[in-house]
Structure 1
Amino acid sequence: MSESTASPQAENPDTGEVLEVPKDGGNSGPIVIANEFADVVVRKVDTRNGVRLEIWSPRRGTCVRYDAVALDVLSYQEPEFITKLLSRTPGA
């Protein structure tokens, strides 16, 4: 972005407060998140339809890509919804 271009802004919908948009820090490599139950590899992927967040599960051999809208929807789900997702048997 050039200096003449406005930087993106995020606004808290509850308070109207303008929030600072976090930067990616220039890291282009994947992020591995793991514990004794699961491990995933997360990375930012440029596609012909825009930027996606790719989440890959090496143990299961599954992969999914989410755009900004899908990630936004996840951000306002109730914890009970996530609990229901975790109770499902994958592939069932």
Structure 2
Amino acid sequence: MRIYVGNLKYQVTDEQLREMFSEFGQVASADVIKDKFSGQSKGFGFVDMPNDAEAGDAIQALNDSVHDGRKLTVNEARPRTERPQRGF
């Protein structure tokens, strides 16, 4: 299951995100999303967990929890919706 994790501190690394979820089970990948130009974190990321039951436990435990002083938003990731291109 792919999990969305929002409201992360900008300093959180992929490895810290992986560690946060690994206590609930196997983590296939953990990626903090970064701006492609500056490399700065965008404050959210995605975690892939192969076991849906473990992923569900992680979502339930971590959603609305506080990590580094910030209240996390954790839920099952939804497919990205197409946004119209911005004209310049």
User: Is the structural similarity TM-score above 0.5?
Assistant: no
| Higher radius of gyration, 1 or 2 | 1
Report the TM range for the smaller structure's normalisation: under 0.3
For normalisation by structure 2, the TM-score amounts to: 0.27
For normalisation by structure 1, the TM-score amounts to: 0.26
Greater fraction helix: 2
